[in-house]
Structure formats: structure tokens, C-alpha cells
């Protein structure tokens, strides 16, 4: 237990005690666990995880086999943009009700698939199994095979019920489903210096910005998986020479399949912040061993930083000494955020992720400052109390963390997949700095008495 600024102690559930760690502590840190029952984790369900990964494939049909609430829960959940088809923006559902729960929903699924395929003529169809389907035992795979034979359109089951007693995550289910398309098209026209951008979801058009960087240094992007994605690109992505994996939590499984089955090496990268974006370009040029490509990458970095660095420095003067807390989905995003905040003169005092593994957290520990609290799979009460204890000026997270910040009178920056502002690349760093400065320096916070906030929130297991 540690006291917060209200004088109350922060009591973490005993089963989660090892998942909260402070830099400088000698105790062991645990992660990569199933969520503790009763902890009210910030994680989403397996179905949601699979849906957000595959959703940006814009010319595919996405149909949720389950109650209508499942489809509504993550309808249009990503700020992913498409340069062409908009079919992915629809949230089709079989709308299972009491009758289907009792007698089964296979007939309804088959009829729905045939009708939608005939009307929309998609390149492929992804069928997401939800918890109720895992409970009643519908054979989704068999229905998909039947409809594929009838229509000639690949219907791919996404095995994502949340409580089947397996350790399969929604990310893993999505990767396995996507891989069923890989290798089903020719690789004609793919150059030697070619890559797949994996774990890039084109939030607010970020994939388009990153593509241009690689085109400028002479690298062909075969497929963006899955931002502004196309089924045909996924079919031929096995022809690329290198996989650059940004969101490792969501794409590790697919990148391993491409490496094991097709011999494509993988590099973990980030396109958030000057430092990480530049390093991604340099790593790519170094991998291909092309001196001309490296020269182009260095010239690009110099040119882009020269455009935006002066304005970043101006923001740094205003933000120096401010404290930030961050809680994000993937650990690689957390690394980049810590470095980007440091570039703005800010200190990260709380850092956490939903899906980090032991290797991720070792890296996060290394780059964080002494005294930084690191949490794995946290919950709203823990996050709220640590934000108060550390007296933060900014909370960075997603839609589920926003209410925590605003209720405590803390500035908030949305860095999740619902946002509408591009934060990747060199230009994105300026957008990030601008959003952070506008949020943290807003005069509205002088009316929020959080620094003398007296709370009745408790984290003891018996309290409501």
C-alpha cells in the first residue's frame, strides 16, 4: 500500500499485487495473465479484439454472429479511413434472439451471408463468433464452407467467443483468420525492396503518411495490414521481403506465421515521434543493405524534422516539468509515448498496458524514470488512485480512460483507435504536441479542484 495525496492508501487486489510495480522496487513483476475476477479490467472481450484488427479491411464483408448488442458494442470502433470501399463501415449482425439460442442460429447465419454477398459483392466475408455462439455450439466453420462453395466468395470464420476455456485471444483469432487469405494470389510485380506494414490501422489516415515516407526512399508497400486494407493485398502479402510490425500485440501471431511459412523476416517498429519514425526508416534501409536508400532516408528525416522541430521546441518550453500518466493497449505504443513526452519536457509517472508481455515490460522499465509506477491490466479504481497519488497533469489513454481523467479534473489526450487526428510520423508528432499543449495548458483546469480533491473511492475488495 502507498498513500495518495488524499491520505488514503492504495489497496490493490491481492491477486494483482505483482502486476503493479514501481521503478526502483526490488519486488518481482508479473504480467501476461488472464484478468483477475472482480477487478473490472479495462480490457475488452476476445470478439472485440478480433473485430478491431480485421475491421479496416475495407472491401470485405464483416458480419457478427451473435446478439445485436455485440455488433453495436464495437460498431465503427476505429477511426480507420479507406481510400475506396466503405463496406467495412457497416455493422452487420445475425441478431440472435431467444429462438436461435434454443434452436440454433446456423440457418439464420447461412441465409444472412447469402443475402449480403449477393447484394454487396464483397471480396471476402469475415464471420465473427461471439460468446453466445460458443455457448450454443453453432458450427460456424461448416456454414462458411457451404456458403463459400455456393457463392465463390471466401467466407472466413473468426473464432472469437470469449469464454471457450481456451487461451486464444481476439488478436490471435484475427491473425489466424487473416492468414487463411495469405498465399492465394500471385506475387507478380512485387519489387525486391518491399515491405508489409503490419499493425498499422490507418487511424485518421496515418498509413497514407507512412506509405509516402517509404515511397520516397524507394521501398514498395505491398500491404497495410490492416489499415485501408484490401483482400487482394492480403492474398499476395507473402511476396514482400520484410514485415514491419508496429502494434506487436495484435500482429505478432500473423508475423510469426509469415516468417515460419514464407520466410519473411520481421522487425518491430514504431512511427510515433521523431526518434522512432526515423529509426524505422533507418532500420529498413539497413535491412536491405542499400546505401542509396539510407542516404534518402537520412535526407527525408532531416527535411521533415527541420519543418516541425521549431514548433515542438516552443511547446517544450511551455510543458517542461508537467507530469503524465498513460494507459494503452499495446506496449510498443507505451514506449513511443514515454519518449515523445520526454521530447516535450514532460515526465511519465504512470505507465501501463493491457496486453504487454515480460519482454515489453522489461523495455518499459528501462526507459522510464525512477519512481514511475508500471501497471499491467489495470482497472479504473487503481488508475484513478494512482493519478491522484502522482498528481498528474495529463492522462493519455482511450475511450474507457477518458471519464477517469475528466472526473478527476485532469487533461486527457486520446491515443486510442477512436481518434480522428493523425499522430504518427513527423507531422503527427506536431499534432500530438499541439493536442497535449492545448489540453494541459487550458485555463479550465484552474476551476477543477483536483489538487485538493478529497475522495471516497476505495480499492478494498469489499467496498462498492
Lowest pLDDT segment from 1-15, 261-275, 286-300, 401-415? 1-15
At 455 the pLDDT is: 40
Calculate the alpha carbon distances from 453 to 385, 405, 448 in Å. Answer: 11, 13, 9
Give the burial class of 11: count Cβ atoms within 10 A of its Cβ; 0-12 exposed, 13-18 middle, 19 or more buried: middle
In a domain, 306, yes or no: no
* Segment 63-75, tens digit of pLDDT: 999 999 888 877 7
As for how many domains the chain has, the answer is 3
- pLDDT band for position 458 (cuts 50, 70, 90): very low
pLDDT confidence tier of residue 335, bands split at 50, 70 and 90: confident
Clarify whether residues 256 and 366 are in a common domain.
Answer: no
Q: Is residue 183 part of a domain?
A: no
Residue 340 included in any domain: yes
Of 61, 56, 19, 10, nearest to 41 by C-alpha is: 19
pLDDT tens-digit readout, 88-117: 988 899 999 999 999 999 999 999 999 999
Q: Round to whole Å and give the CA distance between 78 and 419.
A: 8
Read off the DSSP letter of residue 57: B
Peptide bond just before 226 cis, omega within 30 deg: yes
Mean pLDDT computed over 196-203: 94
Contact assessment for residue 140 and residue 127, using Cβ atoms and an 8 Å cutoff: yes
Q: Can you name the residues that pair with 243 across neighbouring β-strands?
A: 196, 266
| CATH number of the structural domain spanning residue 105 | 3.40.50.1980
Answer yes or no: do 225 and 266 share one domain: yes
Please name which of 297, 275, 272 lies closest in space to residue 284, comparing C-alpha atoms: 297
- Nearest Cα residue to 140 out of 108, 169, 103, 179: 108
Range of the domain at 103: 46-178
Do 55 and 20 lie in one domain? The reply is no
Which residues are within 8 A (CB) of 121 and not within 5 positions of it... i.e. 6 or more apart? none
Cβ–Cβ < 8 Å for 374, 349: no
Per-residue pLDDT for 1 more than 50? no
Of residues 52, 82, 336, the one with CA closest to residue 202? 82
Q: Which residue has the cell 467466407?
A: 155
Residue 340: all three cell numbers together:
515523445
pLDDT recorded at residue 234 = 97
pTM here is 0.86
Q: pLDDT-derived band of residue 462, with 50, 70 and 90 as boundaries?
A: very low
**Lowest-confidence segment of 35-49, 177-191, 231-245, 329-343 by average pLDDT:** 35-49
Kindly state the cell numbers that stand for 43. Answer: 480490457
Q: Is the pLDDT of residue 339 over 60?
A: yes
Do the domain assignments include residue 307?
no
Res 2 pLDDT > 50: no
Report residue 184 as a C-alpha cell: 492465394
- Output the pLDDT for position 71: 86
| SS3 category, 233 | helix
% pLDDT > 90, the chain? 61
Question: Within this chain, do residues 266 and 356 fall inside the same structural domain, yes or no?
Answer: no
Residue 151 shares a structural domain with residue 226: no
- 223 occurs within a structural domain: yes
422 within some domain: yes
Residue 358: inside a domain: yes
Rounded Cα distance between 136 and 29, Å, is: 39
284 within domain boundaries:
yes
Residue 260 has pLDDT above 70, yes or no: yes
Amino acid at each position: 500500500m502507498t498513500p495518495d495525496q488524499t491520505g488514503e492508501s492504495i489497496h490493490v487486489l491481492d491477486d494483482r499485487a505483482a502486476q503493479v510495480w514501481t521503478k526502483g522496487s526490488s519486488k518481482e513483476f508479473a504480467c501476461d495473465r488472464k484478468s483477475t475476477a472482480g477487478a473490472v479490467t479495462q480490457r475488452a472481450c476476445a470478439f472485440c479484439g478480433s473485430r478491431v484488427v480485421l475491421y479496416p479491411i475495407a472491401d470485405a464483408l464483416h458480419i457478427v454472429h451473435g446478439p445485436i448488442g455485440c455488433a453495436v458494442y464495437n460498431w465503427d470502433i476505429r477511426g480507420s479511413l479507406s481510400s475506396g470501399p466503405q463496406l467495412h463501415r457497416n455493422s452487420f449482425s445475425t441478431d440472435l434472439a431467444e429462438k436461435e439460442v434454443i434452436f440454433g442460429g446456423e440457418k439464420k447465419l447461412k441465409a444472412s451471408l447469402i443475402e449480403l454477398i449477393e447484394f454487396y459483392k464483397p471480396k471476402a466475408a469475415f464471420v465473427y463468433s461471439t460468446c453466445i455462439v460458443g455457448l450454443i455450439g453453432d458450427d460456424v466453420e461448416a456454414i462458411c464452407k457451404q456458403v463459400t462453395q455456393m457463392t465463390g466468395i471466401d467466407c472466413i470464420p473468426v473464432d472469437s467467443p470469449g469464454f471457450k476455456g481456451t487461451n486464444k485471444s481476439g488478436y490471435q483469432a484475427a491473425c489466424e483468420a487473416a492468414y487463411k487469405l495469405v498465399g492465394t494470389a500471385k506475387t507478380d510485380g512485387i519489387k525486391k525492396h518491399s515491405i508489409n506494414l503490419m499493425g498499422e490501422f490507418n487511424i485518421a489516415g496515418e498509413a497514407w503518411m507512412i506509405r509516402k515516407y517509404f515511397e520516397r526512399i524507394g521501398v514498395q508497400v505491398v500491404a497495410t495490414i490492416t489499415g485501408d486494407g484490401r483482400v487482394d493485398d492480403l492474398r499476395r502479402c507473402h511476396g514482400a521481403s520484410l514485415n514491419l510490425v508496429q502494434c506487436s500485440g495484435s500482429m505478432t501471431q500473423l508475423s510469426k506465421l509469415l516468417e515460419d511459412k514464407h520466410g519473411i523476416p520481421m522487425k518491430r517498429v514504431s512511427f510515433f515521434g521523431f526518434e522512432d519514425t526515423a529509426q524505422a526508416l533507418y532500420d529498413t534501409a539497413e535491412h536491405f543493405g542499400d546505401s542509396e536508400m539510407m542516404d534518402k532516408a537520412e535526407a527525408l528525416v532531416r527535411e521533415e524534422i527541420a519543418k516541425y522541430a521549431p514548433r515542438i521546441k516552443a511547446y517544450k518550453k511551455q510543458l517542461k516539468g508537467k507530469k503524465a500518466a498513460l494507459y494503452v493497449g499495446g506496449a510498443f505504443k507505451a514506449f513511443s509515448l514515454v519518449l515523445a513526452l520526454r521530447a516535450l519536457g514532460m515526465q511519465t509517472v504512470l505507465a501501463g498496458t493491457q496486453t504487454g508481455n515480460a519482454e515489453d515490460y522489461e523495455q518499459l522499465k528501462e526507459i522510464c524514470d525512477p519512481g514511475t509506477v508500471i501497471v499491467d491490466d489495470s482497472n479504473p479504481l487503481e488508475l484513478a488512485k494512482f493519478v491522484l497519488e502522482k498528481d498528474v497533469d495529463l492522462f493519455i489513454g482511450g475511450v474507457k480512460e477518458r471519464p477517469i481523467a475528466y472526473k478527476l479534473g485532469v487533461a486527457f489526450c486520446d491515443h486510442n483507435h477512436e481518434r480522428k487526428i493523425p499522430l504518427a510520423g513527423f507531422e503527427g508528432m506536431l499534432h500530438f504536441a499541439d493536442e497535449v499543449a492545448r489540453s494541459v495548458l487550458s485555463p479550465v483546469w484552474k476551476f477543477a479542484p483536483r489538487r485538493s480533491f478529497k475522495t471516497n473511492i476505495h480499492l478494498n475488495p469489499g467496498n462498492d
